[in-house]
Structure 1
Amino acid sequence: MNDREFHTLAGAALQQIESALERSGADLDYAMVSDGVLEIECSDGSKIIVNRHDAAKEIWVAARSGGFHYRWDGHCWQDTRHGKELMAALSRIISQQAGETVSLLG
């Protein structure tokens, strides 16, 4: 995958996450704080960072539960260690950290 393809795919994923957060109605603050960096703040002040990592061509997630790397497999963003899909995994990560059910799917 070249840089342009990666930026397009990663940008679409970040936009999809942002749209899903808006639809979720969860008590979260979120914003694109810079190009390719989405910051999600829970009601307790803790943060989850989702960012595009250009050098590795991955999407990285930093949360209280740990750091996770997602690589495009041709169909979706998959965790490089456990094979979990980004939106499903991020729904679980946010729900755990926020203390409320948040679904980014559908």
Structure 2
Amino acid sequence: MTDTDYLSRAEAVLATVERTLDNIEADIEGERSGNVLTLEFENGSKIIINLQPPMQEIWIAAKAGGFHYKFTDSQWRDTRNGSEFFAALSDYASQQAGQPVTFEA
């Protein structure tokens, strides 16, 4: 994948997450600064999603831990366990929000 392809795909992920925040019931605030999107929950906890262009990955830092996602087979997949980005983010956000939260591509 070229750097341009990576940035286009990764930016689309951040934009999708931002749009979803406007349409969910959970009280989650999103703040974007360049390639970093911070999700702040009502309880003060955070999930940080950031792009890693040199590695062509998207990273998530959540209470559950740190996770790296690479674009594989038309989806962003965890480099360790193969889980899909949006499904995993939904799980982490649901845990931190204390209610179901769903992010979809």
* TM-score, with structure 2 as normaliser: 0.94
The alignment partner of 1:4 has SS state of: helix
- Once the 2 structures are TM-superposed, how far is the Cα of residue 105 of structure 1 from its aligned partner? 2.5
Alignment of 1:10-89 (within 5 A): 10-32=10-32, 34-89=33-88
Deviation string for 1:17-66 (max 9, x for gaps)? Answer: 1111221121111121x211100001111110001011111000001110
* Displaced runs of 4 or more, over 4 A: none
Q: Equivalents in 2 of 1:12, 1:70: separation in Å?
A: 14
Larger deviation, residues 17-26 vs 49-58: 17-26
* TM-score, with structure 1 as normaliser: 0.93
Q: Equivalents in 2 of 1:44, 1:9: separation in Å?
A: 31
Deviation string for 1:43-91 (max 9, x for gaps)? Answer: 1111100010111110000011100000001411001111111001100
Partner amino acid for 2:54?
A: A
Note the aligned Cα RMSD (angstroms): 1.1
Q: Equivalents in 2 of 1:104, 1:16: separation in Å?
A: 8
Runs (5+) with no aligned partner, structure 2: none
Q: State whether residues 24 and 104 of structure 1, in contact with CA within 8 Å, keep that contact through their aligned partners in structure 2.
A: no
Runs (5+) with no aligned partner, structure 1: none
